[in-house]
């Protein structure tokens, strides 16, 4: 099972692995096959990403590489995931190296479909549809209909439909799938579908199971976490009510929420994330730009003043809170004044982490038909300009933390070639900076320590450990076995 793309795809892969294991399939290491140490795989399942052009290219390259692994042994390659869902038969026609292209609707019977592929009877390639048409327009009408629609990552049952694919002390957990927003640059709703929340009890139960697997940090993921619960009884405020329950799950010491929409940040949610013990004061806010004119063309809301006010309200409750965001530069019609507005926001906001993407057309999006496209070299120049500013500002923000105390979850232990590294509450996996510990700490993966920041390297922190933090809420024997 090879996974590309975001944390949501990682959850989907673990669900697929669980379904396959429950049906008698055995997961083998990726180094199986010619030249590898393990048995040659019968099937390589590639969970693809279809978000942006680079992600599509990476997915196709991975499918081609997988084909090279199995072709000598007679194995098969099967494409699933967003690229397969989005392009289906078109992908199958252009990439004969993939023995089958399966969409989300195939997930519940994936074991049977892989058996068909091995038997030489591959199912017809998936035919894409706009998945927003599969559920009612009104969110409150969706729960009754959702049982007839495949929603990846929602079918958790202990020891059956989720198998961990790593022993990392951090794991992602799905709050919801799909999105009801209509951002002009984004095609995700068309292939991920309308927004569907998972019931609170399901989320808490899966969190408890993950805690028993040795997980200490949970990252709550979705396409839009601030909408969580709008289709459930109780409606608004569901995420703010869920977080204290999550923070009390045995064995889980840190809850992190990702994918927050600034326009939907209610005061109760800001307070819940900023002040609930066990919840990381971490705000992954999807600003995308700061110019009101550009934001309107994006079909989004806000302005530099609105966003600075939001950052101010967060830091009034939690001065050391981490705030990160992504930005699209070079959107159609973007002017120098628009870019200056973005620069002014970044300078004033003091964000901990910033991702910068140059605009490119995406199939099926409104923005692909916009006039006012900027030349690729102009987009590239503007990206470089914003990246340079962002790196300088992130380094300054890291320097502000020197002398402060942080709680660090260790994710890589020290060896002769590598220092011990981990992440503090303001640092999410893979997308933000990390903490580098002084050599000789003797800490292992999964340990959590209080440490003092003694220096910086760009956005990374150099920290000195002070105190080991015991796992919360588990009996001692369980805590030892989990580690």
311 is in an annotated binding site: no
Q: What pLDDT does 33 receive?
A: 43
Q: Is the pLDDT of residue 121 over 90?
A: no
49 is in an annotated binding site: yes
- Of 272 and 93, which is predicted with more confidence? 272
Q: Which of 39-43, 52-56, 456-460 has the lowest average pLDDT?
A: 52-56
Digit-coded pLDDT (tens) for 346-400: 999 999 999 999 999 998 899 999 999 999 999 999 999 999 999 999 999 999 9
Confidence of residue 34 (pLDDT cuts 50, 70, 90): very low
Q: Is the pLDDT of residue 35 over 50?
A: no
- pLDDT, mean over the chain: 90
Q: What pLDDT does 31 receive?
A: 61
Digit-coded pLDDT (tens) for 256-304: 999 999 999 999 999 999 999 999 999 999 999 999 999 999 999 999 9
420 is in an annotated binding site: no
Confidence of residue 124 (pLDDT cuts 50, 70, 90): confident
Confidence of residue 222 (pLDDT cuts 50, 70, 90): very high
435 is in an annotated binding site: no
Q: Among residues of the chain, what percentage have pLDDT more than 70?
A: 94
- For 165-189, what is the mean pLDDT? 93
183 is in an annotated binding site: yes
Give the 3-state secondary structure of the chain.
CEECCCHHHHHHHHHHHHHHHHCCCCCCCCCCCCCCCCCCCCEEEEEECCCCHHHHHHHHHHHHHHHHHHCCCCCEEEEEEHHHHHHCHHHHHHCCCCCEECCHHHHHHHHHHHHHHHCCCCCCCCCCCCHHHHCCCCHHHHHHHHCCCCCCCCCCCCCCCCCCCCCCCEEEEECEECCCCCCCCCCHHHHHCCCEECCHHHHHHHHHHHHHCCCCEEEEECCCHHHCCCCCCCCCCHHHHHHHHHHCCCCCCEEEECCECHHHCCHHHHHHHHHCCCECCEEEECCECCCHHHHHHCCCCCCHHHHHHHHHHHHHHCCCCEEEEEEEECCCCCCHHHHHHHHHHHHHHCCCEEEEEECCCCCCCHHHHCCCCCCHHHHHHHHHHHHHHHHHHHHHHHHHCCCCEEEEEEEECCCCCCCCEEECCCCCCCCCCCEEECCCCCCCCCCEEEEEEEEEECCEEEEEEEEEECCCCCCHHHHHHHC
Q: Is the pLDDT of residue 416 over 80?
A: no
Q: What pLDDT does 477 receive?
A: 42
Q: What pLDDT does 251 receive?
A: 94
Q: Which of 157-171, 275-289, 323-337, 456-470 has the lowest average pLDDT?
A: 157-171
Q: Is the pLDDT of residue 220 over 60?
A: yes
82 is in an annotated binding site: yes
């Amino acid at each position: 099972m090879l996974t590309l793309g975001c944390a949501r795809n990682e959850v989907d892969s673990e669900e697929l692995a669980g379904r396959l294991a429950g049906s008698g399939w055995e997961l083998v290491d990726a180094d199986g096959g010619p030249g590898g140490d393990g048995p040659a795989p019968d099937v390589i399942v590639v969970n693809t990403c279809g978000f942006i052009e680079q992600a599509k290219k990476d997915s196709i390259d991975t499918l081609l590489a997988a084909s090279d692994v199995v072709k000598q042994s007679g194995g098969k390659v099967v494409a699933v995931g967003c690229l397969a869902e989005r392009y289906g038969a078109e992908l199958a026609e252009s990439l004969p190296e993939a023995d089958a292209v399966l969409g989300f609707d195939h997930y519940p019977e994936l074991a049977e479909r892989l058996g068909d592929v091995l038997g030489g009877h591959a199912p017809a390639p998936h035919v894409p549809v706009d998945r927003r048409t599969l559920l009612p327009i009104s969110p409150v009408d969706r729960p009754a209909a959702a049982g007839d629609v495949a929603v990846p990552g929602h079918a958790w049952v202990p020891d059956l439909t989720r198998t961990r694919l790593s022993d990392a002390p951090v794991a992602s957990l799905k709050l919801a799938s799909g999105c009801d927003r209509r951002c002009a640059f984004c095609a995700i709703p068309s292939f991920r579908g309308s927004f569907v929340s998972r019931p609170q009890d399901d989320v808490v139960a899966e969190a408890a199971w993950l805690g028993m697997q040795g997980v200490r940090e949970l990252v709550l993921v979705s396409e839009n976490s601030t909408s969580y619960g709008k289709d459930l009884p109780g409606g608004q405020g569901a995420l703010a009510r869920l977080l204290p329950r999550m923070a009390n799950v045995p064995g889980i010491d840190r809850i992190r929420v990702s994918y927050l929409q600034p326009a939907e940040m209610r005061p109760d949610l800001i307070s819940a994330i900023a002040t609930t013990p066990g919840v990381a004061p971490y705000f992954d806010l999807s600003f995308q730009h700061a110019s009101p004119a550009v934001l309107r063309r994006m079909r989004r809301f806000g302005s530099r003043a609105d966003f600075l006010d939001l950052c101010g309200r967060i830091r009034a409750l939690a001065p050391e809170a981490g705030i990160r965001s992504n930005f699209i530069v070079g959107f159609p019609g973007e002017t120098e004044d628009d870019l200056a507005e973005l620069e002014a926001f970044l300078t004033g906001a003091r964000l901990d982490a910033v991702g910068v993407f140059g605009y490119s057309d995406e199939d099926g999006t409104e923005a692909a038909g916009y006039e006012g496209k900027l030349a690729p070299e102009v987009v590239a120049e503007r990206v470089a300009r914003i990246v340079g500013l962002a790196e300088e500002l992130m380094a300054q923000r890291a320097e502000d933390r020197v002398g402060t105390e942080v709680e660090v979850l260790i994710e890589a232990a020290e060896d002769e070639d590598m220092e011990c590294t981990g992440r503090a509450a303001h640092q999410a996996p893979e997308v933000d900076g990390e903490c580098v510990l002084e050599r000789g700490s003797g800490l292992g993966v999964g340990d959590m320590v209080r440490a003092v920041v003694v220096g910086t390297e760009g956005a990374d922190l150099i920290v000195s450990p002070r105190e080991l933090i015991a796992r919360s809420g588990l009996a001692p024997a369980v805590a030892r076995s989990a580690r």
